[in-house]
Amino acid sequence: MNIAIIGGGPAGFAAAIKASNNKNHVVILEKNSDALKKLLLTGSGKCNYWNINQSINKYHSSYENIANIINPNNLKLVENFWNDLGIIPIIKNGYFYPYSEKSSSIKSALIKKALELGVIIRCNYDITDIKFKDNKFVVKAQDYEEEFDRVIIATGSLAYPKTGSTGFGYDVARRFNHNIINVNPSLVQLKTNASIKSSWAGIRTNVIVSHIEDDKICKEEQGEIQLTDYGVSGICIFNLSRDISIGLQNKRQEKISINFVPWCQSNLKDFLDKRNKDLPDRNITELCDAFLNYKLLYAICEYIHINPGKNWDKLNSKEQDLFVHNLTAMELEITATLDYDHSQVCSGGVDIASLNLETLESKNIPGLYFAGEVIDLDGDCGGYNLTIAILTGILVGSSLGSEKDA
């Protein structure tokens, strides 16, 4: 059986490895000059390939029953897949990295395994059309075409177009009457028009940040935030960005609330009153320098028009309340996300309802499969999107590797 895998990313390689047997001829067709280009960026080049903290809440889709895909049995398949590749992990807070802490180690292991199994890898293969005729798939590239018995679409999403992502898989899916759930940037930075952004650029600090949609708190994240000249970034922001991006598309009012003193379990005003009593004759800067970045303090004071050189007990009650509010619950309206050039993944994609949940085969066209980011399934930061890629590739490839008429 001739099997074409369109896209040489992690999902494509997992599918190829699992589909390979002595009766299948498997070929990966990759548009770029080299396969697994986006993988090299994973985990800032270190490749966070697995996370011991697995929960269905780390995964997202418009399809309600993703537990049919994301479940302990299937996740175990992913863990076993990495072990079978011989990856030696270094584990940091539940995050698994190759011991080398280089994404290239994962890339090399995937390519080596595929080649050992007889998988053909063709790069610079720019597909222009795919047709289904007489129970065969005709794949056209440049000025020639080939026939295949099965086709796996593993082309990725629209995220990081510099790695070759074009949305081609969505076009193929639409051509074969698949519904595409609205695609939006996810795991992406957020923009705000708040004037404070010009003063706080370059600051990194630990916070609690809440997503507020139409004045309702939806979700909360804690971690390091990066304050920029366009808005906010950092893992905690990325994990909120999916829903914010969708909300913006649906014309909802999107805000975040930032608590810059997450360590303070008591009322901050009471804390500052006591600190002022214990440390008299200190101005605001001196009173706060033990727990707040001075550049951030000055930015906040400038934003709310309070003199940081003024003593705490010289502020009136309204000024004190304003200062405390902006340290514990600064609200910023989010006007946009950065674009696909900056998003790590996308939300949306091929509607899972149109696929067989065990094999990810199209319900519309027999022999057509989808794997990886092209599907309406994405995850939080922390290796979860790579897990989706490998898992969906395993499901597709295993079904083809075990076909009785293979």
Q: What is the model's pLDDT at position 302?
A: 97
Task: Report in angstroms the alpha-carbon separations of 132 from 129, 139, 148, 176, 369.
Answer: 10, 9, 10, 9, 13
Stated as kind and residue range, the H or E segment containing 78 is helix 72-84
Q: What is the model's pLDDT at position 21?
A: 87
What does the pLDDT look like over 197-245, one tens digit per residue? 999 999 999 999 999 999 999 999 999 999 999 999 999 999 999 999 9
Report whether pLDDT(305) > 90. yes
SS (HEC) of 216-271 = EEEEEEEEEEEECCCEEECHHHHHHHHHHHHHHHCCCCEEEEEECCCCCCCCHHHH
What does the pLDDT look like over 237-266, one tens digit per residue? 999 999 999 999 999 999 999 999 999 988
Pairing of strands 25-29, 120-122: parallel
- Rounded Cα–Cα distance for residues 178 and 364 (Å): 8
Handedness of CA 185, 190, 193, 199 (dihedral sign): negative
**Backbone dihedral region of 202: left (phi > 0), alpha (psi from -120 to 50 degrees) or beta?**
left
Q: What is the model's pLDDT at position 144?
A: 86
User: Which whole number is the average pLDDT over 359-379?
Assistant: 98
What does the pLDDT look like over 151-196, one tens digit per residue? 999 999 999 999 999 999 999 999 999 999 999 999 999 999 999 9
* Count of CB atoms situated within 10 Å of the CB of 209: 25
Handedness of CA 159, 163, 164, 169 (dihedral sign): negative
- Rounded Cα–Cα distance for residues 355 and 178 (Å): 9
- Rounded Cα–Cα distance for residues 77 and 198 (Å): 48
CA-nearest of 380, 378, 347 to 240 is 380
Q: Let me know: does 314 contact 174? Beta carbons within 8 Å.
A: no
| Pick from 19-28, 338-347, 395-404: least confident | 395-404
Report whether pLDDT(405) > 70. no
Please give the structure tokens belonging to residue 177: 């009457």
Q: Let me know: does 191 contact 256? Beta carbons within 8 Å.
A: no
Report whether pLDDT(273) > 80. yes
DSSP sequence for 114-139:
HHHTT-EEE-S--EEEEEEETTEEEE
Q: Looking at residue 87, what DSSP letter applies?
A: P
- Rounded Cα–Cα distance for residues 147 and 4 (Å): 9
User: Which whole number is the average pLDDT over 343-357?
Assistant: 98
- Rounded Cα–Cα distance for residues 221 and 211 (Å): 9
- Rounded Cα–Cα distance for residues 398 and 14 (Å): 9
Report whether pLDDT(406) > 60. no
Q: Rounded to a whole number, what is the largest CA-CA distance in the chain?
A: 87
Entry pTM: 0.96
Name residues whose C-beta falls within 8 Å of residue 29's C-beta, 6 or more positions apart in sequence: 4, 5, 6, 7, 8, 122, 125, 127, 139, 141
User: Which whole number is the average pLDDT over 324-328?
Assistant: 98
- Residue pointed to by tokens 């597909």: 127
Q: What is the model's pLDDT at position 143?
A: 80
Q: Looking at residue 20, what DSSP letter applies?
A: -
Report whether pLDDT(391) > 80. yes
CATH number for the region 2-185+346-401 comes to 3.50.50.60
Q: Let me know: does 72 contact 133? Beta carbons within 8 Å.
A: no
Question: Where are the domains positioned within the chain?
Answer: 2-185+346-401, 189-337
- Rounded Cα–Cα distance for residues 54 and 61 (Å): 16
Please give the structure tokens belonging to residue 244: 């914010």
Q: What is the model's pLDDT at position 404?
A: 59
- Rounded Cα–Cα distance for residues 248 and 252 (Å): 6
